[in-house]
Amino acid sequence: MIDWDDLRFFLAIARNGNLSAAAKDLHVAQSTVGRRLASLEASLGVRLLNRTPDGYVPTLAGDGVRGHAERLEAEALAMQRAVGGRDVRMAGLVRVTCAETVATHILAPALAGLHREHPDIMIELTPNTRALSLSMREADIAVRLSRPDQHDLVIRRIGTMAFGLYAAADYLACHVGMDLADGCPGHHVITQSEDIEDGTQTGWLSGVTHRARVSVQTTSHEAAVTATVRGGGLACLARFRADREGGLVRLEIPPPVPRADIWLVIHKDNRHVPRIRAAITQITAYVGSMAPQLVPPDVSAVLAPPDTSANDAADQA
């Protein structure tokens, strides 16, 4: 009889390509991962993964086993979600994932208040540049700045975040003259990916500064803010974050103003779990209270308001 746990370890290695990353995902020692793989291969009497310079690669037999294992995994997770959906307690763990800046400046303060009202709910807040899978139960709630398209998710837009073009005052003093119409020749820019999730801002910045030189490229919005404050160049930053920095100057930019919608996402099987609904309500209310900071009154472009077609986020989700 094949041990299901051995299959979990095999899948983790096949997905990550190496033992250390698989061990991190499974919260075990690397030696344990290797031992469980060896146990599975011994029980089946066939090699499932070949070790190459680029990592572990499935053999022909490994490809077949992976397909079966992923179907078993999907069924096990579906059963777990179905049973979990009947949990009526206002207690337990709620795992929330989002981008770093959203975690630090929106969700951390939002969810801190949840414990006062529901002390038996524990929040695990995971900033991650990789979109954790709700279907695979890597997280219960995701707050994203790009709209997912998976069919098994419940998705609601709960707000909008405006962006602007910023530079440090010291940088502008040393780089006199800026021609946005001509692509900002002679200037430096700080570009981002991953953390923002939505490529609209990156594309906009590339368009208006196409003659500038990239000085810093980062996957972290927080790192981009710091690099801009320190005089690294021009950057497209979230208004609610950059407007707090006294050393930054927001520059006049041609409309439309770059923006990103804020999407709250859960798996459809979790929409009636009380502790998850409580977290959804808390997040939605806090994002709503931040609306004047997320989209300041001076934003010239007209942005679509959040979707309020349902009663509230918890009821719709």
Q: How many CB atoms lie within 10 A of CB 188?
A: 20
- According to the model, what pLDDT value does residue 315 have? 46
H-helix or E-strand spanning residue 168 = strand 153-168
H-type helices in 85-211, by residue range? 100-102, 108-112, 114-117, 169-174, 200-208
Say what the pLDDT of residue 281 is: 94
Query: Given this model, what pLDDT does residue 110 score?
Result: 93
Distance CA 142, CA 132 (A): 8
Both tokens of 291, joined, read 């609306």
The fold for domain 90-317 equals: D-Maltodextrin-Binding Protein; domain 2 (3.40.190)
Cis? peptide before 255, omega within 30° of 0: no
Residue 236: φ, ψ to 5°: -90, 110
Q: Give the pLDDT means over successive 10-residue stretches in the chain (317 positions).
A: 79 89 86 89 89 90 87 75 64 91 93 89 85 78 86 90 94 85 91 68 87 92 94 95 93 84 91 91 95 86 45 46
Q: 150: closest CA among 15, 261, 265, 310?
A: 265
SS3 category, 316: helix
Task: Give residue 309's pLDDT.
Answer: 41
Domain 4-84 matching CATH 3.40.30.10: the answer reads no
Return the closest-CA partner of residue 110 out of 284, 314, 276: 284
Rounded to whole angstroms, the Cα distance separating 260 from 304 reads: 11
> Residue ranges per domain, the chain?
4-84, 90-317
